[in-house]
Amino acid sequence: RLTIHAKVAKKRSSVTPEVQATAAAPVVGQSLGEDEMKFVNEQVKSMSDDDMIAMLEGMGNIGPEEEARMKAMGADPAMMKKAADMMKSNPMMRKAAAMMMKNMSPEQMMQASQQAQSQMKNMSKEDMEKAFEEMNKNAK
């Protein structure tokens, strides 16, 4: 068989400092094994509304160690607290989130968490505020 195009030697790409710094940051769910992810997924699927409220209250009352861990993952603890408060006070938003999570596999749940982490890492405080306002408006 003959080829029309000439073969070109492949070049190795070098890793930039930004990529190295990003690669070192912890990722949501990274430390969970497959069995642990399945367990978490099943726990989420069986949560009642009261369980969800208790979880959101816990998210609103995190300690300094948890805040540091969240910051290392690129998450903003203040924004997470705000999101938890917003969901806690909005039953329709809570139910929508619960229904969405009940239909997700452990892998989909992990992927959604990592995608949210990635998107939030690149957002300014103003962009996050705007997104929260929009979510709150749409949920009413």
Q: What pLDDT, in 10s, does the model give residues 79-114?
A: 788 888 888 888 888 888 888 888 888 888 888 887
Q: Does residue 46 or residue 136 have the better pLDDT?
A: 46
Number of H-type helices and E-type strands within the chain: 8, 0
Please write the tens of the pLDDT for every residue from 111-132: 888 787 777 777 777 887 787 7
d(CA 84, CA 47): 16
Q: What is the DSSP string of 70-92?
A: HHHTT--HHHHHHHHHHHHT-HH
Q: Classify 123 as helix, strand or coil.
A: coil
Tens of pLDDT, residue by residue over 12-68, are: 545 444 444 444 555 656 667 778 888 888 888 888 989 988 988 888 888 888 888
pLDDT for position 97: 85
